[in-house]
């Protein structure tokens, strides 16, 4: 059963998830990057450079075992998930920018994800697995990440009505299949689930909070508007845990269930922390919006 889950259902689940992402993307989403160049560049710098460094520091601080440490770094290298778009919509972020960031991040992950993971393997195994940036791994990540996205974009381009009709069913199917895969993986290693949560739960929570904070505060430091900074925060804080789990469990990639644990734990925590963060952003924006009004009405 475990073999069927990892070799058949997992690639299917991820393919459906990434196809669903592609159904909502157009070429205009990539062109829109030119409209918000500062926000995009700052967000990408946070995603590609700052987050792996922050995650590395957290991993060292919590002294995680090698598989969990590599799993955390894999998570840090994963792009934002489609759920980030929903949070941006709910809490006043720039959803259009969010979609563009997701699109660009998904493309860049083809190179950055294998690079970060392989460097992490080399470091945390003491040089025992200095695998470098293997070209075949890059091709496999390309097949996992980009091909379904490109397929979805082609459907959106030539059959927009069909893409609109299939958006919800594809999302629902991806959730069902993914839950089945994760449940199967958990059941197969049920004796160690509580141990894993205790080992990586606090580290995953710390990384989640740091990701959201970095995603918002760094763009604001560079004078990016609040709505765009909010989009960047959710893009950077709501990682594509599905992709990280797939890379960790795939027999042709890492093939290590323990490395998938950080992404699974993070995937559960981020729904609550992102909602709390969104409420906090809404309160901060309301306060900032109210301050000019109060100063105008003050007597001279």
For the stretch 2-13, pLDDT in tens is 455 555 566 666
Q: Is residue 297 part of a domain?
A: no
CATH number of the domain that residue 263 is part of: 1.20.1530.20
In whole angstroms, give the CA distance from residue 91 to residue 230.
8
Tell me what pLDDT residue 193 has. 65
In whole angstroms, give the CA distance from residue 211 to residue 75.
11
Domain total of the chain: 1
Q: Is residue 295 part of a domain?
A: no
Please give the share of the chain, as a percent, with pLDDT higher than 90: 20
Confidence category of residue 171, pLDDT binned at 50, 70, 90: low
Over residues 43-102, the pLDDT tens digits come to 999 999 999 999 999 999 999 988 999 999 999 998 877 677 778 777 877 777 877 787
Query: How many residues in total does the chain contain?
Result: 300
Report DSSP state, residue 32. G
Q: For residue 263, what are the contacts with CB-CB under 8 A and spacing of at least 6?
A: 71, 74, 75, 78, 239, 241, 244, 245, 248
Q: Is residue 58 part of a domain?
A: yes
Tell me what pLDDT residue 190 has. 62
Q: Is residue 118 part of a domain?
A: yes
Rounded to two decimals, the pTM is 0.73
CA dihedral 213, 208, 82, 277 (to 10 degrees): -50
Average pLDDT over residues 112-135: 71
Q: For residue 276, what are the contacts with CB-CB under 8 A and spacing of at least 6?
A: none
Q: Is residue 290 part of a domain?
A: no
Confidence category of residue 136, pLDDT binned at 50, 70, 90: low
* Residue 128 or residue 174, greater confidence: 174
Mean pLDDT of the chain: 78
Task: Identify any residues that bridge with 239 across adjacent strands, giving them in sequence order.
Answer: 80
Parent domain of 55: 2-284
Q: Is residue 104 part of a domain?
A: yes
């Amino acid at each position: 059963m475990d073999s069927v889950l990892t070799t058949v259902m997992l690639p299917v689940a991820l393919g459906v998830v990434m196809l669903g992402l592609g159904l909502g993307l157009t070429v205009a989403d990539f062109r829109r990057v030119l409209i918000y160049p500062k926000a995009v560049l700052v967000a990408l710098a946070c995603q590609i450079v700052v987050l792996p460094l922050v995650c590395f520091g957290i991993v060292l601080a919590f002294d995680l075992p090698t598989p969990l440490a590599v799993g955390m770094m894999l998570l840090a290298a994963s792009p934002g998930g489609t759920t980030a778009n929903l949070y941006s919509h709910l809490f006043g972020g720039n959803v259009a920018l969010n979609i563009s960031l997701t699109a660009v991040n998904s493309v860049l992950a083809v190179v950055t994800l294998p690079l970060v993971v392989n460097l992490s393997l080399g470091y945390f195994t003491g040089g025992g697995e200095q695998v470098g940036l293997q070209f075949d791994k890059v091709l496999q990540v390309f097949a996992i990440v980009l091909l379904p996205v490109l397929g979805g974009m082609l459907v959106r381009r030539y059959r927009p009505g069909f893409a609109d009709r299939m958006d919800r069913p594809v999302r629902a199917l991806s959730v069902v299949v993914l839950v089945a895969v994760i449940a199967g993986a958990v059941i197969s290693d049920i004796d160690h689930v509580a141990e894993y949560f205790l080992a990586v739960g606090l580290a995953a929570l710390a990384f989640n909070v740091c990701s959201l904070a970095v995603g918002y505060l760094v763009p604001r430091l560079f004078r990016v508007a609040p709505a765009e900074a909010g989009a960047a925060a959710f893009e950077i804080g709501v990682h594509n845990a599905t992709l990280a789990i797939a890379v960790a469990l795939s027999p042709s990639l890492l093939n290590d269930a323990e490395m998938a644990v950080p992404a699974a734990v993070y995937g559960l925590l981020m729904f609550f922390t992102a909602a709390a963060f969104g409420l906090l952003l809404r309160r901060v924006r309301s306060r900032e919006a109210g301050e000019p009004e109060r100063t105008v009405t003050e007597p001279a």
